[in-house]
Amino acid sequence: MNKGRSRGGKGRTHGAARSAAVVPVDAPFQKNEEVTVDIIGLTHDGEGVGRADGYTLFIQGALPGERVRVKVMKVKKQYGYAKLEELMLSSPSRIEPPCDIYKECGGCQLQHFDYPAQLEWKRQHVVDNLMRIGKLSVAGEGRAVDGESASTGIVVRKTVGMDEPWRYRNKAAVPVGASSADGGLLAGFYARGSHRIIDMDDCLIQHEHNDEVIRVVKRIGRELGAAPYNEETGRGVLRHVMARTGVVTGEIMVVLVTNGRKLPLVESWIERIRRELPAVKSIIQNVNERDTNVIFGDDTFVLWGSEVIYDELDGIRFAISARSFYQVNPAQTVALYRKAVEYAGLTGTETVIDAYCGIGTISLFLARQAGRVYGVEIVPEAIEDAARNAALNGITNASFEAGPAEVVIPRWRKEGITADVIVVDPPRKGCDPALLETILSMQPERVVYVSCNPSTLARDLRVLEDGGYKTVDVVPVDMFPWTVHVECVVRLYRE
């Protein structure tokens, strides 16, 4: 594989897109026109960035270093979108996607890109965001080095990948709909950029148990005559099916999301699921009657079995309910959290605050090496799960409170709780600005930032740097192989 060319193209991706957005040129092409372009990078969505006559085209399925013939589909003044028609010069990193429905399904974006090249691109994507959005200095100016001194800039390590990057997801949540051919029930992921369901029986990034649950539930639904939900009319019963698998324990949860409390033939549903899926420990119904893209409604009922299933991460046992946030890639979660604990620099005496603690996953990892851990999370049900998980593992030096971190942590400070280390693991939108201000006012010695979005990470690191912290290390972790997503663990010290 030509790593130099692949890395160089990816490093220029955002620069190309940015310059195209500010150069006041008229589009040189018209819709449906065919044109040959050279691909110089990838966008954060995994689209190829092509340049022709000074104009930028975004092309799904194209890779850096390729020359392609495309059909222009949409034209704007500064940029446009095109459809890949012919590969004239193929990248050495291009592979044949193993999934039969990859070109239709929107679940993965990078199955045509070989795995080592994906890991390089994800690292470069992080570097680009740190430099472009955060205006931060990166050691080696983007070269994948692991031994440079932090004095030359932030060290962005090589992406931590998987030895076997398939079958890693422990949770599947798929919409249910009706086949346009015969009206029969189908379930699968949406096609790219639409709400058209691509029927799926086998997903190569899902645990095999999840695939089996989806297949069985579809079959039962068809045989029981279950009416699939119709987004346009708001009618129908079955909206989504979710499967959770405890990878270590082998326990399975099945969640049926319905458009109303009544599930016709509910006893038959229970009997059939239990008979055809013997490993199932929990059958749950969630009710969502709202006109929304959000999967879950507010009301959840146990139809049969336990309210939770159990799994383990690095020897810590977790109770997982239907709506718990629990990382979907357990092997990489262990790598991610071990690095977070390492960056916390714990000796056994420190007080640690875990903002956005969820069900206590990072908190309990930290508690094994800290003096005291305080977790805060805005979702009350998650805090109940966190307390239950601490008790389940006999961990007594961790406590949890529900509420906004930017409100609870300042109150803790007034009560005399000061942190040596603060760990944040926010959603994709990043940290609340008030929480960043709280961190700066509390002045912990170290901050560990766990991020699922490089752009908001870069924005927040800029705020922390301006407030007196120094970003030292960033480790990208590939939690979602074959997709464009990447997580990071970041170590900061107070200067």
DSSP state of 226: P
For residue 172 the two structure tokens come to 């599947």
What gap in Å lies between CA 146 and CA 157, rounded to an integer?
A: 5
- The secondary structure of 87-138 as a DSSP string is EEE--TTB-----TTTTTBSS-S-TTB-HHHHHHHHHHHHHHHHHHTS---B
- C-alpha dist (Å) from residue 180 to 185, 204, 230, 258: 10, 25, 12, 21
* C-beta of residue 384 within 8 angstroms of C-beta of residue 312: no
Residue of 203, 357, 452, 488 marked active site: 452
Q: How big is the chain, counted in residues?
A: 495
Block residue for tokens 């030509």:
2
Block residue for tokens 């979005």:
453
Of the candidates 126, 157, 125, the residue with the CA atom closest to the CA atom of residue 49: 125
Tell me if residue 23 falls in helix, strand or coil.
coil
203 is catalytic: no
For residue 18 the two structure tokens come to 């940015």
Neighbours of 233 (CB within 10 A): 7
Which helix (DSSP H) or strand (DSSP E) does residue 316 occupy? strand 316-320
Catalytic positions: 452
